[in-house]
Amino acid sequence: MKAVKPGTGTDQVPQVTRGEAHLEVSDLTVYATAGGASRTLVQDVSFRLRQGETLGIVGESGSGKSMTAKALVGLLPPGVRAGGNVTFGGDQLVGRPERELRRLRGSQISLLLQDPFTMLNPLQTAARHIYESLASDRRLARSERAEEVRRRLAEVGIEDADAARRYPFQLSGGMQQRVALAAALAKNPSLLIADEPTTALDASIQHDVLMLLRQIQRDRNMGLILITHDLRVALSVCDRIMVMYAGTVIEDGPSPAVNATPQHPYSLGLLRAEPPLTHARAHLSSIPGNVPSADTVKDICGFSPRCEWATPECRAGKPPLAVVESDHRSACRRIDDIRSDLRERQASDDAAMPDPPPASLDSPILSVHQLRKVYRVEAMFGPARTHEALAGVSFEIGVGESVGLVGESGSGKTTVARCLLGLNRPTEGEIRLDGIDITDYRRLKPSDLRKVRHLVQCVFQNPYASLNPSRTIGATLREAVDVRGDAVDLSVEVDRMLELVGLPRAYSSRRPALLSGGERQRVAIARALAVRPRLLICDEPVAGLDVSVQAQVLELLRDLRRELSMNMLFISHDLAVVRQITDRVVVLHRGEIVEQGATGKVFADPQHPYTARLVRAVPRA
C-alpha cells in the first residue's frame, strides 16, 4: 500500500534534506521535587535526530524512556521539571511557556500513545477526529473537508467509508491505532514521537502498524522517535538505537551495529534475552536483578550491580558516553577490555535445544473433540445476533507434552481456555481431562469436581490483577496448599513453593505491591502449582513483562516442566515465545484450527496462508 500525500498546495509536506539536524538534545535532566527534596529521574541525556531519521529508544521499565519523551514536549507531570537543552528547528524548548508548547504540539511535534483509546473521544466518529485535528488556519468547504478526511484516512490504510463513520468502540485495536495515527499526523508535524504504539496489539497487526509508520515516515521525510521495551521491534524499524538504563543513555549507534556488535553489557543482555523464532534455545538468557532508580546510581555506572564484568572502577564515578567506533557510543569504561567476551557470549547463545520426539497420544491427559461455542450478542437497536467463537475445535495433549495455542485476538484461544476451566459452557462437543468428562462442570459429581480442580490450574496474563493486594504472599500460597487437603506443615510447604519458583523465603511476609511484575508472576505460578495440577494452562503469561523478565519466567516454566513432568497448554500471540516453550502448536483462526503439528516444523514451513502470515509478522532485525 502506497501512502497518500496529505493535501495539496500550501498543505504539501515539505521535503527536507536528510542530513539536516532536526532535534538536538544535550544534557537533558529530569527531576522530581517533593517536600523540599529533589530526586533525579533522567540524567544527562544527549542525542541528535536528523530530518527523516528514525530513532528507537529502548530499555526495561523504569529506564526513563517515556519520561525523556515527555520532557521533549513539556508534558511532564506536576512536581517534575526538566533542565538542559532541547533544540527543535533551532528553537529552545526547555523552559518555554506552556502556551507556546501547546501550539507546537500537534503542528510540529506530535505524539502517538500506547493505548489509542486514551487519544480518541468515544463520542466522535473516526472522520470527526481527523477533521478536528486538521490545521485550524484552513477553512474548507464541506466537500473539501470530506475529501481531505478521506485522504488522511487512506494514508493510514482506511479506505472503507463505513469505518470512517464508526465510533472508536466499534473499531478493532489496529483500526483504532490507525485513526489515532491519522489524527496525530493531521497537522503535518515534522516529528512524531510514538510511545509503545504496538505493545497491546497482535503480532500481525503490530507488524502492519509498524510498517505503516515506517512507510509514512519515509514518504513524509518525517523524524520519528519510537519508544519500546522490545528491542526486536526497534531493530526492525529504526535507523538508530538509543539504549537507556536507570535514567541515562548507555549506548547509541546505528541499528545494524547495535544488533551485530553491541558495545555495552546491558545491550547484549537485552539481545540475548530476545527469544528467536528459528529454534528453541538450550538456555534462555536473562539479566538478573531489576532496574534501580536513577537517583540511587547517579554517581556510578548504573548497570554495575547487575554486570558480571563490573570492577571497582565502574563504581568510582559515572562513565561518560564516549565514541567507541564510527558513529557508535558506549557508556562502558571497560568496553575495550571486554569486547571479545561480549562477542563470544553473543555467539554462544545460538546453541539450539533439539526438538523433542512426538509424544504418545494413546492416553492423552486432555482430549478436546469438536468443541463449539456460540455466544448470543445483544444489540442496542434491532434483534440480537449470534457469534460463533469456536467452530468444531479438536486437539489433544499427550502426557508430558506442552502444546501452544496461537492466533490473533478473536481467534478463540481464550474461549478454549475458559471452557477447559469451566468458566464457559460449550455449545457442543466434548472435553475429557485425565479420563473425566468436564464438558459441563455443573454436571460433575462433587468428588469429580474436587479432583478436576486439582488436575487443572491457570496462570493469567496480568500478574498485577491476579493476586489479592491485601493478602501477603504467604497467606495466598497457604490457601492454595490447604486446598489439597494434605497433612503437611503449611509454612514449610510455602517455603518450598517459593524456592521452587526462585523466590526468597522472606517474600512470604510481603504483599504484592512490594514485588516487581516478574516476581508477581512467579508467585502466580507458585500458587497454581501448589495444588499439584497435571495440566497447567498459561494464558499470555509473559505478554506484559520486560524481555529479560520474560526470559526468566519462560526458563522457570521449562525447568518446572522437566522437574514436575508437567503438561502444559501455552496460549500466546508471540510465536517466538511459543517456539521456546512448546513441543507442538495448534493454530486457531476465527474459531477453527487451520494448522497443527510439531512447533519447529510448523514455524519453519507453514502450510496454511494464515500461519505463514503470523510467521512473517514476527519482528526481525
- Quick one: which of 490, 489, 466, 467 has its CA closest to 478? 490
pLDDT (tens digit, 9 = 90+) per residue, 303-358?
A: 999 999 999 999 999 999 999 988 999 999 999 999 999 999 988 877 788 888 88
What span, in angstroms and rounded, lies between the C-alpha atoms of 71 and 74? 5
* Domain ranges across the chain: 23-108+189-348, 366-616
Q: 175 CB contacts (<8 Å, ≥6 apart)?
A: 126, 158, 163
Is residue 571's pLDDT more than 80?
A: yes
Kindly tell me if the per-residue pLDDT of 411 is higher than 80.
Answer: yes
**191: β partners:** 109, 223
Residue 398 Rama label (left phi>0; alpha psi -120 to 50; beta): beta
Task: Identify whether the C-beta of residue 375 lies closer than 8 Å to the C-beta of residue 345.
Answer: no
Per-residue cell: 319: 562513565
Residue showing cell 556488535 = 261
- Confidence band of 426 (pLDDT split at 50, 70, 90): very high
What kind and span of H or E run contains 194?
strand 191-195
Q: Is the pLDDT of residue 582 over 60?
A: yes
Query: pLDDT, tens digit, for every residue of 284-304?
Result: 888 988 899 999 999 999 999
Q: What is the pLDDT of residues 524-570, one digit of tens each?
A: 999 999 888 999 999 989 887 888 888 989 999 999 888 888 899 99
What pLDDT, on a 0 to 100 scale, did the predictor assign at position 444? 94
Q: What would the grid cell of residue 544 be?
A: 506484559
Q: What percent of the chain has pLDDT over 90?
A: 51
The confidence score (pLDDT) of residue 135 equals 63
Q: What is the mean pLDDT of residues 31-44?
A: 88
Q: How many CB atoms lie under 10 A from the CB of residue 514? A: 12
pLDDT in tens, 77-131: 899 999 999 999 888 999 888 888 888 887 889 888 777 667 788 888 888 888 8
C-alpha to C-alpha distance for 478 and 452, rounded to whole angstroms: 20
Neighbours of 354 (CB within 10 A): 9
Q: What's the CA gap between 225 and 195, in Å, rounded?
A: 8
pLDDT of residue 18: 45
Work out the pLDDT band at 25, boundaries 50, 70, 90: very high
Q: What confidence tens digit (pLDDT) does each residue in 133-147 have?
A: 886 655 666 677 778
Q: What number is the average pLDDT over the span 454-470?
A: 87
Cα 583 to the center of its chain, rounded Å? 24
- Return the top range by mean pLDDT from 93-102, 182-191, 596-605: 596-605
With 50 as the cut, is the pLDDT of residue 45 above it?
A: yes
Strands 385-397, 402-406: parallel, antiparallel or unpaired by DSSP?
unpaired
Cβ 275 vs Cβ 353: under 8 Å: no
At 140 the pLDDT is 63
Rounded percentage of the chain residues whose pLDDT exceeds 70: 94
Cα–Cα dist 105/128, whole Å: 20
- Span 199-228, pLDDT tens digits: 767 778 888 888 888 988 998 899 999 999
What cell numbers appear for 438 in the block?
Answer: 468436564
Residue 520 has pLDDT above 70, yes or no: yes
The pLDDT assigned to 415 comes to: 92
**259-280 mean pLDDT:** 94
DSSP string, 451-491: HHHHHEEEE-S-TTTSS-TTS-HHHHHHHHHHHHT----HH
DSSP code per residue over 81-139 = EEEEEEEETTEE-TT--HHHHHHHBTTTEEEE-S-GGGTS-TTS-HHHHHHHHS-TT--
Band (28; pLDDT cuts 50, 70, 90): very high
- Band the pLDDT of 381: cuts 50, 70, 90: low
Question: CATH number of the domain at 23-108+189-348, please?
Answer: 3.40.50.300
- Is the pLDDT at 435 greater than 50, yes or no? yes
The set of cell numbers assigned to 411 is 481467534
* Grid cell at residue 532: 499439584
Query: What is the rounded end-to-end Cα distance, in angstroms, of the chain?
Result: 22
Residue that is written with C-alpha cell 514476527 in the block? 618
Cβ atoms of residues 416 and 393 within 8 Å: yes
Q: What is the mean pLDDT of the chain?
A: 87
Give the cell for residue 250: 548507555
* Residue 424 grid cell: 464457559
Is residue 20 scored above 70 in pLDDT? no
What is the predicted pLDDT for the residue at 239?
Answer: 95
Q: Which amino acid is at 468?
A: N
Q: Which fold has domain 366-616?
A: Rossmann fold (3.40.50)
365-384: average pLDDT:
83
* The pairing of beta strand 21-34 with beta strand 80-88: antiparallel
Are 23-108+189-348 and 366-616 equal in CATH topology? yes
DSSP 3-state of 72:
helix
Q: Label residue 167 by pLDDT band (50, 70, 90).
A: confident
Pseudo-torsion of CA 229, 233, 234, 236, nearest 10°?
170
Lowest-pLDDT range, 352-356, 361-365, 417-421, 554-558? 352-356
Which region, left, alpha or beta, applies to residue 312 given φ > 0 means left and ψ of -120 to 50 means alpha?
Answer: alpha
Least confidently predicted of 195-199, 362-366, 473-477: 195-199
Q: In the prediction, which pLDDT does 315 show?
A: 92
Rounded-to-integer distance, Cα 209 and Cα 191, Å:
17
Report residue 14's pLDDT band, with 50, 70 and 90 as the boundaries. very low
Answer whether residue 5 shows pLDDT above 70. Answer: no
| Cα–Cα distance measured from residue 44 to residue 395, given in angstroms and rounded to the nearest whole number | 55
Separation of alpha carbons 608 and 536, rounded Å: 28
- Alpha carbon 493 to its chain centroid, in Å, reads 34
Instruction: Tell me: pLDDT of 598 over 60.
Output: yes
